Structure 1
Amino acid sequence: MAALLGMLLAAAAPDGAEVEALQRLWSGVRDSSEQVVMSVERGASGWPQTSEQRVRTIVAPVSVAWLGAHVLYLEEFLEDDPEDPRRQLLLALEPAGTPAHAVRVRLFTFARPRHWMHLNYRPRLAARLGWRDLVASPDCDLTLTRVGEQFQGGTLGRHCVDGSPGEARYLDYRLVISQELYWYHRRTLRESDGELQEEVIGFNRFEPNEARLYACRVAWSASGAARDLRPLVTLDVYEEGGHSRFVTPDGRALELTLHGRDWPFALDRAALILLLQEQGHDTPFATAWAQMGAQQIALELGWLEVRCGSMVPDSDELAQ
């Protein structure tokens, strides 16, 4: 019996570590630029100038012991108006079980949201929180999986119902969190046929907001031959010095960095530069170049391939 208990605890330990890692990464203050890509009510938006708004998201641990050991309070408001939050949530983090390295995020809204405003600064109020004060949203729970130094994931299936009046619709929500990245993608789809009704994207706010987000798909070959390349991981990085780490199945710890306007060695000619190096080493062993503003950049090494594509389209692309 003791041996079995030890095995169960050993198996649970990595999942517990993922929960703690997600809590550390998610906690903090994030300023995002939120843009409407399309809306059937407003037509195609003029990306990004006409639809951009600043969103501030505050996430902080709160003590709600009966809800779990890892509980976060999330408060989100537009521009600089903290007294009028548009969203307030309690997030209970727990191991997901499957897939590996995944965390389940249980979502709760408040029956009386304004009563619980700024809960992260009001521990005495948090101590009085009870089940009757919360509204569970199990169909909108998130599953976030650790990939390198990021957590990626979102809602599952078509069960997260959008409560807006009119035709029945559901939400598909994607989220990426790392130390330097906070990116979300919200789609509202018609329940009857899955037709897209609205698409919104939010990403780190820059001043000026010029840096673009790229999704870098990494493929690895066990044999070392390009014909045997298989998908390994997808990492999201910004063009202004964004970086992310990953480990290949044979144990090689690598770091990917993407430079653009921040690159200090080519002031007279803007370029997009992709670097690959061993973790802990200063010198990259592989590089790739592309024109500034390029939608794609790639590294092809035979045993490893990295292809990065822009996740934030230019305004003229949307107009096509």
Structure 2
Amino acid sequence: MIRTFVLLALLAAARGAPAAAQPVGGPIEKDLALFLDWFPGRYDNEQQVFWEPELKVPEEERHERIHSIFRPVTAPAFGDHVFYVEQFLDGDPSKIYRQRIYAVSADAGANAVRLKIYTPKKPEALAGAWRDPAPLKALRPSDATTVAGCDVLWRRQANQFLGSIADGACRVKSSRTGEDIVIDDDLVLTDSEIWISDRATTPEGAYVFGNKAGVPHKLKKVRPFECWTAVLRGAKHGDSGEGLDDWQFQRGGLLHDQGGELKLTTDETPARAIRLKLRRVEWPSGPNRPSLTLYVHEGDAKRATSYGWGEADAERLGINLRWLQASCTHAPERLWE
């Protein structure tokens, strides 16, 4: 009798459990939430480009350096989850080669996160909008074009998302030749990297663009750093600096840990050009530990004058060469600058 009473009480309690205790949405909504957490950011494959000559990758199979920016923006006409995308070459924000609007949603029917791609009709008016996305708020789908069959479907597998376009479905006219081409894309997204393998062929299968070895661009998410610097006027590398105390200070310099550069010009006559470069070095082979490395370059020299390093995930890194001092601190609030 007592057991029956306890069982009935437990059943009654279960029926009366508050709705908030129940799962919200299905698996795809959960995947969407994770995708939206991982995807935003700035990514760069500078490290891939840096190592390829060392690894003796044939020149025709090497990758160009690309920087990809995926910034969440408010553009209600495109949906609830919208990104402004800007990609440029060689670490130079003026070398823009692609601008897009991405609309992201959960697609239960496809069991995937769907990414719909829009191309702005007036991309030049949006250049740099990742820094100030206000102009995007009033943008409408009629201000852009989209192509059926070119959506990317992202599906979670273990601790990553795999993205792809349906085979042969994305057909567009080449802006260069005016001929029809077929676009294919395979992607991988983790919480710290995105790999992009976009390529194009003619309808007959002839090569148009893409890495000829089939190796994706391997981009790593960047961390921004803010730096102060001090250059000792009248001193050069190797000097002790003894007896000199005339420093040129600068604050608020900005670079990132995937090959970002901070350029300095002294106020001396003649002026000196100095570059700081920051790289989170990850060795492609061997036992060396990853490290956060700060390089000092003078003029246009490719070889660093000097460098220092610390733990790969360090929050601050400094260097003192007697004639130059610098300290760089992780500044996540400056990501979109």
Report the TM-score when normalising by structure 2: 0.52
- Decide whether aligned partners of structure 1 residues 204 and 127 sit closer, same or farther in structure 2, where only a CA change above 3 A counts: closer
Aligned to 1:55: 66
Structure 1 counterpart of 2:31: 18
Task: Within 5 Å, give how 1:78-97 maps onto structure 2.
Answer: 78-97=89-108
192, 203, 224: which one aligns with 1:191: 203
Q: What is the alpha-carbon distance in structure 2 between the residues aligned to residue 138 and residue 11 of structure 1?
A: 31
Counterpart code for 1:202:
H
Q: Which amino acid aligns with 1:158?
A: G
Aligned residues: 200
Cα pair 2:31 2:113 within 8 Å, conserved: yes
In structure 1, C-alpha distance between the alignment counterparts of 2:178 and 2:58, rounded to whole Å = 26
Please give the secondary structure, in 1, of the residue aligned with 2:99. Answer: strand
CA displacement, residues 135-154 of structure 1 (integer Å, 9 cap, x when unaligned): 11332110010112211021
Secondary structure of 1:138's counterpart equals coil
Please name the residue that 2:194 is paired with. Answer: 182
Name the CA distance, whole Å, in 2 between partners of 1:76 and 1:21: 23
- Per-residue CA deviation, residues 142-201 of structure 1 (Å, 9 max, x unaligned), is 001011221102111212124321653201101101122221112222213x34444323
Q: Which whole-Å CA distance do the structure 1 matches of 2:201 and 2:282 have between them?
A: 29
1:64 is aligned to 2:90 = no
> Does 1:115 find its partner at 2:125?
yes
**Per-residue CA shift, 1:34-57, capped at 9, x if unaligned?**
78xxxxxxxxx9635874321111
Contact 2:198 2:210 (8 Å CA) reproduced: yes
Q: Say whether residues 1:157 and 2:167 are aligned partners.
A: yes
Letter in 2 for 1:161: R
Aligned mates of 2:157, 2:198 — CA distance in 1: 21
The residue that corresponds to 1:203 in the other structure is 218
The letter for the 1-side match of 2:31 is E
Q: TM-score, normalising length from structure 1?
A: 0.55
1:142 aligns with 2:152: yes
Instruction: Please state how far the C-alpha of 1:68 moved relative to its aligned partner.
Output: 1.2
SS in 2 for 1:20: helix
| Alpha-carbon separation, structure 1, partners of 2:117 and 2:160 | 20
TM-superposed CA distance for 1:121, in Å, is: 2.8
Q: 2:134 aligns with which of 124, 136, 140?
A: 124
Report sequence identity in percent: 23
Change in Cα spacing, 1:80 to 1:27, as seen in structure 2 (3 Å) is same
Contact persistence 2:86–2:130 (CA under 8 A): no
Give the counterpart letter for 1:87 in structure 2.
R
Specify every segment of 5 or more residues in structure 2 that has no aligned partner in the other structure, as ranges. Answer: 1-18, 50-55, 221-257, 259-278, 291-337
Paired with 2:185 and 2:91, the residues of 1 have a C-alpha distance of: 24
AA partner of residue 53 (structure 1):
E
Contact 2:89 2:97 in 1 (8 A): yes
Q: Separation in 1 of the partners of 2:109 and 2:287? A: 40
- What secondary structure sits across from 2:37 in the alignment? helix
Determine the C-alpha separation between the residues in 2 that align with 1:47 and 1:178: 28
Write the distance in 2 (CA, Å) between the matches of 1:108 and 1:209: 35
Q: Which runs of 5+ in 1 are unaligned?
A: 1-5, 36-44, 213-238, 240-259, 265-320
Aligned pairs (5 A) from 1:1-320: 12-33=25-46, 47-48=58-59, 51-100=62-111, 102-164=112-174, 165=177, 168-192=180-204, 194-200=205-211, 201-204=216-219, 260-262=286-288
Instruction: Provide the rounded CA distance (Å) in 1 between the counterparts of 2:78 and 2:118.
Output: 10
Question: Do the aligned partners of 1:151 and 1:176 also contact (CA within 8 Å) in 2?
Answer: yes
